[in-house]
Each structure stands twice: as structure tokens, then as C-alpha cells.
């Protein structure tokens, strides 16, 4: 519906993302880094509801679930504002009255799972529909609005596995994965700020680029996912993918104890353990959601008996989920 604004609430699911690879290719003039990273969306998601709030006042946001920090700093409000600015005002332009947004936060925060950027992408999409302005921005301008709000936000407009390059603005959708591999996410209770991890990375890499082997692994996986890869074949590559993150060592320095947690999980689960983004979320691949759920019980028992150390403010978040594969019939 593009000719009139919606008056009923618009609901959007905002999925988490996982970096199966993350290569730092170099430092940019704008202070950001050029990346080569394969992202996959997960079934784990936040829920965003947006509705018109009348003509007076300003946009509002109410957050439930996990603590996402101060509301005024939330990317949802910034995304709605950026979408409004992109449409502009004047004759023939859709009206953009204030919106009331509600966010049910299920994705761990500051965890390397892209939750804030996903919420922002969902907010842009929902705001445009609420204003009856879904056609007001072409895909390129929508992508530019998303990139202005968060480096990971453009990926979430694709809705499927993708190769991410530049600082995140270059998104090449990939055919993806056949089947429904399980993922176990273990997020220690420490907030890790991405800029802090990159600062440590820059301090230890004079050329501001990472290990060339990670870049090769990332390129190889992107090629395979471009052709389509079975869940079984993806799990078989877990050992290579688990170490294909140039930020691993830097994240371990920012979050003391992270390497210890990773070692404990490797011993307990007897599987390779990777790091998503700048961390601190650790992940491991399984052929199915059921096996990831069984592993979640094992890890919870390990946390309870001290086999898996709890660092930061308490026990880790343990979430079994699946990769949203981009194929029809994927679980949500």
C-alpha cells in the first residue's frame, strides 16, 4: 500500500547476523576499515512494531526484553529520522507524521550480532510503509539511508546470506545454504565496543590489514555460497571458518577471559568455536537446530558447574538458533 499511510501497526522481524568470515582488508581515509566478510541472517530476531502517533509530538520508542541502553541513542529513532529526511517535504511528497515504535529486544546487545543495525533496517522499512511511502525511495537510496545509520544495516535489507565489502555498504547477495544448519550462540556478559576492538587491531597491525589467509578463506566461502552449499558441507568447513576472523586476537585483549571461555567450549563440545564480528559472541555450527539445542543444554550445565567460566557481569547468554538460508521454507 503506497498511496496512503497505514493506520494499523506495522510489524517487522529484525534478524541477528553471524559473520562466518571476517577479513580486514585495509584502513580507509574516513577512519573505517575495508572488510571482506560473509554474513548470514539468523532465525534469532528482535520484533519491531511501528504505528502512527498522531500529528503532534515526536517519534517515540519503548523497549522491552534485553537492555539496549538509553532510548534516545537507539538506532531505531535515528533510522526513522533518516528515512523522513530522505523523503523530504513539499508538494507531492508523502506526509511523515511522528511514529510510535515498540521494540522487543531478543538479540544480545553489543555482541557482534548486528542487532542494532538490524533494528535500524527494520525501522526504515516499517516507517516507509507506515507513511504510505514504500515507493518513495528506490533501492539505492534506501541502501544509502541504511548505511548512514549503521555499517551493518545495508546487509539486513538483502534478507539473505551475502558478501559484505567496504565498510559494509557493498552487499552482494549469495545463493546461500541448502538445508537448515543449527548454530549455537554463547555470548559472555561483557559488552564489547567495535571501535575499541578495531583500535587494538590497528595498534598491532602497522599495515591495518589482517591475515591474508582469512581473506582467502572468506573469498572461497563467498564463491561456494554463491553457487549454493549444503548444510552438511558448511558444517564440514567449521574448523577453517572458526579461525577466519581477523579480529579474534583483538577481541580477546578487549575482553579478558574470552579466550578462556572459547577454550572451555572447544573442550566441552569437541567442536570448532568461532567469533562473530568484533565479539564477544562465540558460535559453533551443527547440522540441525535439534543438535544445537542439545549443545545448549550441555553448555548450560557447564556454566552451572564451572566448566565454562562466566566472565563479566554474570553467566553467558546461550541461544540455539538456525541460519536463515534464503531458501523457501526456512524456519523463522
Tell me, yes or no, if 59 is annotated catalytic.
Answer: no
Number of Cβ atoms within 10 Å of the Cβ of 316: 25
For residue 299, the surrounding DSSP H or E stretch is helix 289-304
Number of Cβ atoms within 10 Å of the Cβ of 328: 5
Grid coordinates belonging to 194: 567495535
User: What is the distance between the alpha carbons of residues 218 and 221, in angstroms, rounded to a whole number?
Assistant: 5
**Residue of 144, 90, 99, 97 whose CA lies nearest to 121:** 144
**Residue of 162, 170, 152, 249 whose CA lies nearest to 210:** 249
Residue in 59, 119, 125, 152 annotated catalytic = 152
Beta strands in the chain (DSSP E): 10-19, 23-27, 33-52, 60-65, 99-105, 162-166, 170-173, 177-178, 182-187, 229-230, 274-275, 282-286, 317-322
Tell me, yes or no, if 152 is annotated catalytic.
Answer: yes
Query: Dihedral of CA 83/41/237/270: which sign?
Result: positive
User: What is the distance between the alpha carbons of residues 46 and 14, in angstroms, rounded to a whole number?
Assistant: 5
User: What is the distance between the alpha carbons of residues 272 and 223, in angstroms, rounded to a whole number?
Assistant: 22
User: What is the distance between the alpha carbons of residues 82 and 143, in angstroms, rounded to a whole number?
Assistant: 12
Residue in 17, 105, 119, 246 annotated catalytic = 17
User: What is the distance between the alpha carbons of residues 237 and 264, in angstroms, rounded to a whole number?
Assistant: 21
Please identify every residue annotated as catalytic.
17, 152
Amino acid at each position: 500500500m503506497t498511496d496512503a499511510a497505514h493506520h494499523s501497526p506495522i510489524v517487522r522481524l529484525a534478524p541477528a547476523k553471524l559473520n562466518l568470515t571476517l577479513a580486514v582488508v585495509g584502513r580507509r581515509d574516513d577512519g573505517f576499515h575495508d572488510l571482506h566478510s560473509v554474513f548470514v541472517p539468523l532465525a534469532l530476531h528482535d520484533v519491531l512494531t511501528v504505528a502512527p502517533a498522531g500529528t503532534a509530538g515526536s517519534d517515540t520508542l519503548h523497549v522491552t526484553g534485553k537492555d539496549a541502553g538509553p532510548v534516545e541513542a537507539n538506532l531505531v529513532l535515528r533510522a526513522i529520522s533518516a528515512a523522513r529526511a530522505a523523503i523530504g517535504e513539499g508538494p507531492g511528497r508523502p506526509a511523515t507524521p511522528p511514529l510510535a515504535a515498540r521494540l522487543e529486544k531478543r538479540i544480545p546487545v553489543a555482541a557482534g550480532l548486528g542487532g542494532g543495525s538490524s533494528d535500524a533496517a527494520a525501522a526504515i522499512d516499517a516507517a516507509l510503509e507506515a507513511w504510505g511511502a514504500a515507493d518513495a525511495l528506490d533501492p539505492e537510496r534506501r541502501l544509502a539511508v541504511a548505511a548512514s545509520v549503521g555499517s551493518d544495516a545495508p546487509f539486513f535489507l538483502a534478507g539473505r546470506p551475502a558478501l559484505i565489502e567496504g565498510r559494509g555498504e557493498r552487499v552482494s547477495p549469495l545463493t546461500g545454504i541448502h538445508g537448515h544448519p543449527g548454530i549455537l550462540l554463547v555470548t559472555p556478559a561483557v559488552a564489547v565496543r567495535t571501535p575499541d576492538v578495531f583500535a587494538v587491531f590497528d595498534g598491532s597491525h602497522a599495515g591495518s590489514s589482517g591475515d591474508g589467509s582469512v581473506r582467502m578463506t572468506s573469498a572461497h566461502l563467498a564463491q561456494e555460497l554463491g553457487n549454493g552449499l549444503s548444510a552438511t558441507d558448511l558444517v564440514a568447513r567449521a574448523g577453517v571458518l572458526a579461525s577466519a576472523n581477523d579480529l579474534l586476537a583483538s577481541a580477546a585483549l578487549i575482553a579478558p577471559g574470552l579466550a578462556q571461555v572459547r577454550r572451555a567450549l572447544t573442550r566441552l563440545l569437541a567442536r570448532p568455536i568461532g567469533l562473530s564480528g568484533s565479539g564477544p559472541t562465540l558460535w559453533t555450527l551443527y547440522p540441525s537446530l535439534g543438535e544445537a539445542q542439545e549443545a545448549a543444554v550441555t553448555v548450560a550445565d557447564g556454566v552451572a558447574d564451572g566448566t565454562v567460566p562466566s566472565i563479566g557481569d554474570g553467566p553467558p547468554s546461550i541461544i540455539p538458533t538456525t541460519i536463515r538460508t534464503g531458501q523457501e521454507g526456512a524456519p523463522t
